[in-house]
């Protein structure tokens, strides 16, 4: 095994994204100067994307224990939650931001493929997909091109793979003009006790690579994801992987069948850093080593170099450690599905990863030294509060004049890109494949999917308002958790756990790191309050654009993917008004609060203001009692008040069945705050006349604040006696505005 001059190697290390201190640490670990292949291995495994070196200290402060959790956070490819009836749910969310910003179709498609593999590698069958997307100014042709590419990538991969895309969220803001965010979530079901661990054990056990052949796509993808986007990032296009959903479908079925043979010791998806990551993480977890023969890896291209094979992120591949003597069982299964299954090495007891290429030892590194929780570096960066936080605190709502024309104001707010229906997007996704989705035609605040063979259903959602988090990262992150829980509760579910995707700018920027730390603290406090432990997830730093004259971080976007359980699917609660003469109530307390609202941004052009009103104890109290109301059958619909305020929530509840409403303003509040403010912990519910008294008595008895708004009536929107026009006009505006912009 050859090495090169140390001084020259330092420069190579820096070019690969390592620091001089990290290089010296590698020399100390190896006891010698590393060669290029070894440097490449360390560069990807010690990249932010794989090692979480700038975030793990704070991630460990998040609550990670719960009675339903079957594995600890970060222990496996995805979180695993006991849902009863001998079943468990595996779920996780991850980012594919930089690849999607450079090549939106393949970037988004392979993000979907990768997160599904994390689920079925554990032995779970994916039953649902969600996503959380952030784009720039929709008036820009560049933004519309990115939207088209990302949406087509998600839709084509998911539809071909055969897993329904059941929910998600989309936000538009200029801070994402260059660096979009594409977060993908997968949810799967597995019988308890039939999961597979990402571990290597048993000296002499054979190591297999299965699935697609290895190509040059995706090389150094982990390093690419751990650097700023610049005007030259398009030159890194080879770092974007290429996906094949039909191959992944075969791999899914073959993998689940192979698990049933009992011949598998451990298995891991080859995602970021490819063979390097899977061999090192599985070996470190099993406290063993591996001897790998890279020339035995099936390749798509001739004459690939050893480091190219090691670092390739070609999609639809798995690493499997099998039981010695039972190899043929695996070979038979993968041959049946017409997939490659090549033995490339064996487990050793040395703790070393030894990579050979055509008989030559090209790299030898200790597995433990490479991985998170082992020898990978851990940093605590300096942080400081940005000046803009104090500026936001000086916002004076009384300086904002009330609108002269409330109908026109309502139209402008309601037609904003962040408010209107995203049907142009979600109609390109198949939400009904596998026939378990309950919310395609009966919408609720969270997506709800039946668990076949049981009375249960799973509720799931992705949530984060980045404007709130930018205004106050601590409160904004708490709101993200609270709103996710509120959406689950409004749908009839019990929130049980979260996965997160933490999208931030450069961690070396003290102001960005302050946002990150505060968001982690807020998320942790909220998760402890709602008893929704963190099962795992993803940190994505370096989400910013480096332009010629400035650096622009995205707004901090800690996306929450939350799972909830309905023990009885018949208790699914929808958001739509059900019948004329049903009475409309708002549970929760209105506030004279317009801070950080779409109304404030769109109508008054104010970008800087505090986060909206939020009290976590009040939120918990509202959700606790809302669960009881649904359980006792006291309400006919439930829909949370969020972006766009009370007006938007009412119209969204009315449009589903075309039922109008007549409501009145509470004159104790500013009218614009009452209808368009986004203060938290509020839910619009409707109730049949004959049980209205029961509802009121319950709310009074349990000290739940409420306001009677009006009733379901006619086909128009009437506020304070003023006809705002037929509901059909508002529905047309809601349904078609985004599509018209996209087709412009």
Q: How far apart are the first and last CA of the chain?
A: 59
- What does the radius of gyration of the chain's CA atoms come to, in whole angstroms? 26
CA distance 546 to 228: 7
* DSSP E strand stretches across 485-629: 494-503, 534-540, 544-546, 551-553, 557-566, 583-587
Q: How many helices, marked H, and strands, marked E, lie in the chain?
A: 25, 27
Give the C-alpha distances (Å, rounded to integers) separating 225 from 45, 142, 259, 311, 435. 12, 21, 32, 14, 36
CA distance 163 to 434: 7
Q: Would residue 716 show up in a list of annotated catalytic residues for this protein? A: no
For 343-399, the DSSP string reads EEEEEESSSEEEEEETTEEEEEEEGGGGSTTTTS----------HHHHHHHT--GGG
From the list 396, 384, 419, the residue with the least C-alpha distance to 608 is 396
Quote the tokens at residue 523.
Answer: 């998320």
∠ Cα 144 150 153 (to 5°)? 135
Strand partners, 686: 584, 637
- Torsion of Cα atoms, 142 then 144 then 148 then 154, to 10°: 90
Phi first, then psi: what are they for 627, rounded to 5°? -60, -40
Strand partners, 637: 686
Q: What SS3 state is found at 682?
A: coil
Could you give the maximum distance between any two Cα atoms of the chain, in Å? Answer: 86
Tell me which residue has tokens 């998040």: 62
Q: Which of 49, 98, 220, 582 is catalytic?
A: 49
CA distance 547 to 18: 23
Q: Would residue 49 show up in a list of annotated catalytic residues for this protein? A: yes
604 burial (CB, 10 Å; 0-12 / 13-18 / 19+) is middle
CA distance 152 to 224: 23
The H or E element containing residue 571 is none
Q: Which of 96, 98, 116, 173 is catalytic?
A: 96
**3-state DSSP of 301-356:** CCCCCHHHHHHCCCCCEEEEEECCCCHHHHHHHHHHCCCEEEEEEEEECCCEEEEE
Estimate the share of the chain in helix, then strand, then coil, as percent rounded to the nearest 5: 40, 25, 40
Q: Give exposure, 80-92, as e/b (b: 16+ Cβ within 10 Å).
A: bbbbeeebbbbbb
Quote the tokens at residue 165.
Answer: 């895309």
**Helix ranges restricted to H, 491-610:** 510-530, 598-604
Q: What SS3 state is found at 536?
A: strand
600 in Cβ contact with 594 (< 8 Å): yes
Q: Give exposure, 2-31, as e/b (b: 16+ Cβ within 10 Å).
A: eeeeeeebbebbeebbbeeebbebbbebbe
Q: What SS3 state is found at 77?
A: coil
From the list 108, 66, 136, 178, the residue with the least C-alpha distance to 550 is 178
Could you list the active site residues? 49, 96
């Amino acid at each position: 095994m050859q090495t090169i001059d140390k001084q020259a190697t330092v420069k190579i290390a820096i070019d690969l994204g390592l620091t001089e201190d990290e290089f010296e640490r590698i020399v100390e670990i190896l006891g010698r100067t590393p060669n290029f292949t070894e440097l490449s291995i360390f560069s990807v495994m010690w990249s932010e994307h794989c090692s979480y070196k700038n975030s793990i200290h704070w991630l460990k402060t998040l609550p990670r224990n719960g009675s339903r959790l079957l594995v600890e956070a970060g222990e496996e490819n995805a979180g695993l939650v006991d849902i009863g009836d001998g079943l468990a749910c595996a779920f996780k969310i991850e980012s594919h931001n930089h690849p999607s910003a450079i090549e939106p179709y393949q970037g988004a498609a392979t993000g979907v493929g990768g997160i599904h593999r994390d689920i079925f590698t554990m032995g779970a069958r994916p039953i649902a997909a969600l996503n959380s997307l952030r784009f720039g100014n929709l008036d820009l042709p560049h933004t519309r091109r990115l939207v088209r590419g990302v949406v087509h990538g998600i839709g084509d991969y998911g539809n071909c793979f055969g897993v329904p895309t059941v929910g998600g969220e989309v936000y538009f803001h200029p801070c994402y003009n260059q660096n979009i965010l594409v977060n993908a979530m997968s949810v799967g079901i597995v019988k308890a006790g039939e999961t597979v661990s990402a571990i290597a054990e048993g000296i002499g056990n054979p190591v297999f690579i299965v699935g697609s052949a290895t190509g040059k796509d995706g090389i150094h993808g982990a390093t690419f994801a751990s650097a700023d986007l610049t005007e030259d990032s398009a030159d890194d296009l080879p770092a974007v992987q290429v996906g094949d959903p039909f191959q992944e479908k075969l791999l899914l079925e073959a993998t689940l069948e192979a698990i049933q043979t009992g011949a598998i010791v451990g298995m891991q998806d080859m995602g970021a850093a490819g063979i390097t990551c899977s061999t090192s993480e599985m070996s470190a977890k099993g406290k063993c080593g591996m001897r790998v023969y890279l020339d035995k890896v099936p390749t798509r291209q001739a004459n690939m170099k050893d480091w190219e094979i090691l670092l390739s992120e070609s999609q639809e591949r798995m690493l499997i450690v099998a039981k010695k003597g039972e190899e043929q069982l695996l070979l038979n299964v993968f041959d049946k599905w017409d997939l490659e299954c090549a033995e490339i090495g064996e487990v050793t007891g040395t703790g070393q990863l030894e990579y050979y290429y055509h008989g030559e030892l090209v790299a030898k590194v200790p597995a433990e030294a490479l991985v998170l929780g082992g020898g990978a570096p851990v940093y605590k960066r300096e942080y400081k509060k940005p000046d803009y936080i104090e500026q936001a605190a000086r916002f004076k709502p009384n300086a904002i004049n009330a609108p002269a024309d409330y109908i026109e104001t309502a139209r402008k707010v309601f037609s904003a890109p962040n408010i209107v229906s995203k049907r142009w997007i979600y109609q390109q996704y198949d939400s009904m494949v596998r026939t378990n989705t309950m919310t395609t035609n009966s919408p609720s605040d969270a997506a709800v999917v039946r668990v076949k063979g049981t009375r249960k259903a799973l509720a799931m959602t992705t949530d984060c308002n980045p404007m709130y988090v930018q205004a106050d990262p601590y409160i904004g992150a708490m709101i993200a958790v609270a709103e996710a829980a509120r959406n689950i509760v409004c749908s009839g579910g019990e929130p049980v756990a979260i996965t997160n995707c933490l999208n931030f700018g450069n961690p070396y920027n003290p102001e960005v790191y302050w946002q990150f730390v505060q968001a982690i603290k807020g998320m942790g406090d909220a998760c402890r309050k709602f008893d929704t432990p963190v099962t795992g997830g993803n940190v994505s730093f370096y989400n910013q654009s480096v332009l010629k004259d400035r650096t622009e971080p995205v707004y901090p976007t800690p996306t929450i993917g939350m799972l909830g359980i309905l023990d009885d699917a018949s208790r699914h609660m929808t958001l739509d008004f059900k019948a004329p003469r049903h009475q409309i109530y708002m549970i929760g307390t209105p506030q004279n609060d317009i801070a950080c609202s779409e109304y404030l941004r769109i109508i008054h052009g104010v970008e800087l203001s505090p986060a909206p009103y939020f009290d976590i104890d009040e939120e918990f109290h509202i959700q606790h009692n809302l669960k009881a109301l649904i359980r006792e059958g006291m309400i006919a619909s439930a829909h949370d008040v969020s972006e766009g305020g009370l007006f938007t929530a009412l119209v969204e509840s009315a449009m589903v069945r075309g039922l109008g409403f007549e409501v009145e303003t509470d004159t104790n509040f500013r009218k614009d705050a009452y209808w368009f403010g986004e203060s938290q912990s509020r839910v619009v519910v409707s109730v049949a006349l004959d049980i209205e008294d029961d509802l009121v008595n319950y709310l009074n008895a349990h000290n739940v604040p409420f306001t009677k708004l009006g009733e379901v009536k006619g086909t128009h929107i009437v506020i304070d006696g003023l006809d705002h026009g037929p509901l059909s006009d508002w529905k047309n505006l809601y349904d078609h505005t985004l599509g018209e912009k996209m087709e412009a």
